[in-house]
Amino acid sequence: MGTLFEPFTDVVPSFFGWLNQGPLTLTIFLHTIIILPMFWIYFSEKKRLNK
């Protein structure tokens, strides 16, 4: 198996266990969920300032 996605082998299944199976999955998820809305915040502020 590759190292990015590995089979789920946790004793107690959990969303975070599933998310953290590979070294990059959690990082990518957190960046997606935190950084993407910041783009939206940036552009909406820009629009507001332009008015």
Partner 1 sequence: MANKNVSVWTSIPFWRRSAAWVTGFATILLIWLSFDTLGQITMGTDADLLNKVTKRVPAATVINYKIGYEMSKERGHEVPTIGEKQPFFGKEWSDKDAAALLHLGKLTSQAKNCMDCHTLLGNGAYYAPDLTKAWLDPAWQDGGPLQGMTGKSTVEEAIAEFLQNPSQYPTHARMMPNLGITADEAKGLVAFLKHMSSIDTNGFPRNFSKSVETFKAGGTHAR
The contact set with partner 1 (CB under 8 A) reads 7, 9, 11-12, 14-17, 33-34, 37-38, 41-42, 45-46, 48-51
Closest approach, Cβ 19 to partner 1, in A, equals 10
CB of residue 13 to partner 1, shortest distance in Å: 9
For the chain, the DSSP string reads: --SSS-----SS--HHHHHTSSTTHHHHHHHHHHHHHHHHHHHHHHHHHH-
Question: Least Å distance between CB 5 and partner 1?
Answer: 14
